Amino acid sequence: MTRRVLDVQGVSAGYGGQAIITDIDLHVDAQSITAIIGPNGAGKSTLLKAVFGLNDHLGGEILFDGRSIFNARTADLVPMGISAVPQTHNVFRSLSVEENLDVGTFAAPPRDAAATKAKILDLFPDLREKLRQQAGELSGGQRQMVAVGRALMSDPKLILLDEPTAGLSPAYLEIIFDLLLQVRDSGVSILMVEQNAKQALVIADEGYVLVNGENAYEGTGAELLANDEVRRSFLGGGGAP
């Protein structure tokens, strides 16, 4: 049987006791990519924040590797094997690339930080040449690589990515998605929110369409790409990608 890394069961969550997402079911299997798409304000970031313990859990259950993390604190989730890249402000611009990566070890030092860093730099060879450069001087795509690299420094089992390709050119978008496939194949599961919905579903093993804080559609990436209603309403219409 496929191992379920993350199992979100009927979760409602929000801010100040007010629900933004309601009754969400979602799962991430081991070594897979799960994509969440949906309109602005649908609650996609709120869902990622709920998994990462950054807002109020109001109902349901969240299992990580079979253990409840409902109401768990972020500081406890990182050592358990979850890390995250937020939608904005996801690198320390005045720190070097290497210092940014090192920050990723603070909350949960990996067993062998040097080996972990070497592995990450093998995945992101562009960064190897820029280790001493300030992150703020990099291109948007390179900064996203730093952000994902930092998240990988704690040796997580699951990474949560909020719009890893936001603002990138189509060419760079492909580079980042290729890297995410390599990250997945290296054994890390990925739960990501994406505005570039079509391309995200192409690389996703599983996808969810979130609308008004609720699950509207669920299926494999291929199923959602083939669904006429999903295509018309959420993928910019037109034919198959």
Which residues of this chain interact with ligand ATP, rule CB under 6 A?
15, 20, 38, 40-46, 87
Q: Which residue's CB is nearer to ligand ATP, number 49 or number 157?
A: 49
- Judged by CB under 5 A, the stretch of 68-76, 86-94, 142-150, 182-190 that binds Mg ion is 86-94
Q: Which residue's CB is nearer to ligand ATP, number 108 or number 191?
A: 191
Residues 6+ apart with CB under 8 A from 31: 184, 185, 187, 188, 189
Residue 71 has φ and ψ, to the nearest 5°, of: 65, 10
Q: Is 12 in the site for Mg ion (CB under 5 A)?
A: no
149 binds, among ligand ATP, Mg ion, none (CB under 5 to 8 A by kind): none
The residues facing 12 across adjacent strands are 59
Instruction: Give me the least distance between CB of 200 and ligand ATP, in Å please.
Output: 13
43 binds, among ligand ATP, Mg ion, none (CB under 5 to 8 A by kind): ligand ATP
Instruction: Give me the least distance between CB of 40 and ligand ATP, in Å please.
Output: 4
Instruction: Give me the least distance between CB of 98 and Mg ion, in Å please.
Output: 29
Instruction: Give me the least distance between CB of 50 and ligand ATP, in Å please.
Output: 9
Instruction: Give me the least distance between CB of 140 and ligand ATP, in Å please.
Output: 17
* Of the residues 12, 22, 34, 45, which one makes contact with Mg ion according to CB under 5 A: 45
Q: Which residue's CB is nearer to ligand ATP, number 41 or number 79?
A: 41
* Of 197, 188, 195, 196, nearest in space to 221 by CA: 197
Q: Which residue's CB is nearer to ligand ATP, number 43 or number 53?
A: 43
Q: Which residue's CB is nearer to Mg ion, number 44 or number 184?
A: 44
Instruction: Give me the least distance between CB of 231 and Mg ion, in Å please.
Output: 22
- Give the residues lining the site for Mg ion (CB under 5 A): 44-45, 87
